[in-house]
């Protein structure tokens, strides 16, 4: 027999099942983000990575570009959530961690002496908030 009570109970059970599913999905997303951050923080730049960076610079230079974005990562991976980068504050480099810090150290050691620059900037603003940070190697050429 159909009753209002049975319909309300069914609706409540469906809502609860949906909430349980949403919680499980959020938990999975959080675990994936935590794992991505862990890998980012513990990453060590290899010689193969360095060769790839140099190859990308050569290609961008040959294409008459003046910078190349090496990669991006969530701004909340920075020690300050990307605040110093977003506001171009002094010593913004100190907020870099993990893979980003490794790339910066590679630039400082190998590319800066050769005249290349290094920059980081927020490359998107989801919901008006800083999103991802892009890491760039830059250079200037004389007008020919």
Sheet holding 117-122, edge to edge: 67-74, 132-138, 117-122
Supply the range of the domain harboring residue 86. Answer: 46-138
Is 143 within a domain?
Answer: no
Residue 119 shares a structural domain with residue 72:
yes
Crossing angle, helix 4-42 and helix 98-106, to 10 degrees? 30
- pLDDT given at position 143: 57
Q: Which helix (H) or strand (E) holds 62?
A: helix 47-62
Residue 20 shares a structural domain with residue 69:
no
Residue 58 shares a structural domain with residue 23:
no
Residue 140 — very low, low, confident or very high, per pLDDT cuts 50/70/90?
confident
Tell me the C-alpha distance between 67 and 55, whole Å. 13
Residue 112 near residue 139 (C-beta atoms within 8 A) = no
Is 116 within a domain?
Answer: yes
Count of domains forming the chain? 2
| Average pLDDT of span 43-66 | 96
pLDDT in tens, 43-54: 999 999 999 999
Residue 142 — very low, low, confident or very high, per pLDDT cuts 50/70/90?
low
| pLDDT-above-70 percentage for the chain | 98
Q: CA torsion 90→42→108→96, rounded to 10°?
A: -10
Specify the residue for token string 């980012």. 40
* Bridge partner residues of 120 (DSSP): 135
Residue 64 shares a structural domain with residue 111:
yes
């Amino acid at each position: 027999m159909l009753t209002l009570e049975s319909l309300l109970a069914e609706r409540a059970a469906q809502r609860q099942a949906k909430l349980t599913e949403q919680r499980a999905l959020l938990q999975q997303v959080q675990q994936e983000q935590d794992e991505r951050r862990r890998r980012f923080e513990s990453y060590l730049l290899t010689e193969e990575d360095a060769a790839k960076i140099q190859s990308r610079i050569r290609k961008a230079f040959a294409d008459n570009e003046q910078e190349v974005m090496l990669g991006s990562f969530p701004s909340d991976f920075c020690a300050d959530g990307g605040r110093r980068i977003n506001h171009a504050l002094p010593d913004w480099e100190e907020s870099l961690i993990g893979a980003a810090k490794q790339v910066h150290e590679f630039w400082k050691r190998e590319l800066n002496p050769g005249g290349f620059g290094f920059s980081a900037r927020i490359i998107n603003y989801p919901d008006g908030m800083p999103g991802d940070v892009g890491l760039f190697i830059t250079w200037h050429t004389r007008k020919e």
